[in-house]
Amino acid sequence: MRNSFFVVLRVWVLALLSSVMLFAITVPSPARAHEVVPAIVDLSQDGDTLTFQVSATLETMLAGIDLTAVSDTDDAPQANEYDRLRALPPGDIEAAFTRAFSDIADGMTVMAGDQRLALRLNDVTADPVGDLDIPRDSTFTFSATLPDGAESVTVGWERELGALVLRQQGVNEPYDAYLQGGETSDNIMLSGGNARSAAVTFFSYIPTGFDHIVPLGLDHILFVLGLFFLSTRLKPLLWQVSAFTLAHTITLALAALGYVTVPGSIVEPLIALSIAYVAIENLFSRGLSPWRPVIIFGFGLLHGLGFASVLAEFGLPQGQFVPALIGFNIGVEIGQLCVIAVAFLCVYKAQEYSVTATRSIPAVVGYLAAVVVVMALLIPVAAFAPGWTGDLMPVMATLAVLLGLCAVSVNVGRYDSYTDIVAQPASVLIAVVAIYWVIERVFL
């Protein structure tokens, strides 16, 4: 009994150390202060004048940040300049953008046939300074004069200006597209008839939904892991995931259609609270209680509102609303299933040895080698895509900690070691991180 006590004590100490490491890495992640979002560009025509209304973050353009290299402006070399510009009053930022527009316009291309059109700034409006921890909403409008006989145009801008959602207005079957930085649109017929097929729209929104889970949705990842750690059996997991999926699909659709609107200041803390509840309940329940699926359904309604806020940033094409919404939702589901699949692959051997109460040194070595490989993958990411390091590091650290806990579990050789050494410590960590997020999103 004494030896068993000290084994458990050593395990929890190791779990605590790994948890501290993950906590330090993950707690800042969901509150990305200056997260990069795509610009929204609305294109309209009046006679021989093309007008572009752009919703974008002016500070990133003025600071010269390469938006394809970072996912958060805090990671950019020009972060200090961005912060300085972010603190300027609206009049000053508008004046600075007006002075710099000719240089910025050099990176924007509007072509009518083989003729590049000259761009002129019409107006610019910046919101008040407000909360410095979130990007400022700003809009600017520029226009171009069409040559005689022009029937179509192409639109694009340089890679450094980042992604844009381009939407044609005022015509039947308008053009809608999500363009990566440096990408040029298809030929846009000015009279309309440019709408993409339902299939193309559907498949183009799947990656957007997936990205919102992996790697950008650490809070949603931890929620899904909280469901996963309740039980080693498949049936409880299927009940929970089904309830969660049905619920977030309902509110995602209602919010996207405009029937439900809840401020992010309310939704985000409640999402964090739902993560904490699920994780804490794992510590006191060894199976699926009758009320847990009902509670998960309620939490799914909240998460659906969170997913809808992402769609609001991108905008759904009016002519292909349903295919885009379904594609995004399927992307979210694929992301969730990938999280579950990876978690299962990680814990499979730990569960196996836990049932048989056996110890395996080769399994320990395998798990520790996997930890090294996972963390080593960040080296090429940092070298070739440094902007993604901030988003991938919390996800990779979560995976590494899970593998580390499994390594400890297979080294113990005790019945139900998976629950005591992997599932419960992981649930404690998830709860601690989520409680921090609740405090951060409400008070900080």
Q: What is the pLDDT of residues 335-375, one digit of tens each?
A: 999 999 999 999 999 999 999 999 999 999 999 999 999 99
Task: Give the separation between CA 438 and CA 444, rounded to whole angstroms.
Answer: 10
Q: Is the pLDDT of residue 181 over 70?
A: yes
Q: Is the pLDDT of residue 3 over 50?
A: no
Task: Give the separation between CA 254 and CA 257, rounded to whole angstroms.
Answer: 5
pLDDT at 350: 95
Which tens digit of pLDDT belongs to each residue from 103-127?
999 999 999 999 999 999 999 999 9
Contact present, 244 and 337 (Cβ < 8 Å): no
**Mean pLDDT, range 56-68, rounded to an integer:** 91
Residue 50: which residues within 8 A CB-CB, separation 6 or more? 43, 44, 110, 117, 143, 144, 145, 146, 153
Structure tokens given for 389? 């390091």
Contact present, 339 and 225 (Cβ < 8 Å): yes
pLDDT band at 97 (very low <50, low <70, confident <90, very high): very high
Task: Give the separation between CA 191 and CA 173, rounded to whole angstroms.
Answer: 9
Only one residue has tokens 């409006």, namely 125
pLDDT at 103: 94
Contact present, 432 and 19 (Cβ < 8 Å): yes
Structure tokens given for 294? 């009902």
Cα torsion 25, 28, 29, 34: sign:
negative
- Residues β-bridged to residue 177: 166
Q: Is the pLDDT of residue 36 over 90?
A: no
Residue 171: which residues within 8 A CB-CB, separation 6 or more? 45, 190, 191, 192, 193, 194
pLDDT at 7: 46
Q: Name the residue among 53, 43, 56, 59 with its Cα closest to residue 122.
A: 53
pLDDT at 348: 93
Measured CA distances, 269 to 99, 311, 313 (Å): 40, 19, 20
Residue 365: which residues within 8 A CB-CB, separation 6 or more? none
Q: Is the pLDDT of residue 17 over 50?
A: no
Q: Is the pLDDT of residue 34 over 90?
A: no
Task: Give the separation between CA 395 and CA 259, rounded to whole angstroms.
Answer: 33
pLDDT at 387: 63
Q: How far is CA 267 from the centre of its chain?
A: 16
pLDDT at 404: 94
Report which of residues 422 and 16 the model is more confident about. Answer: 422
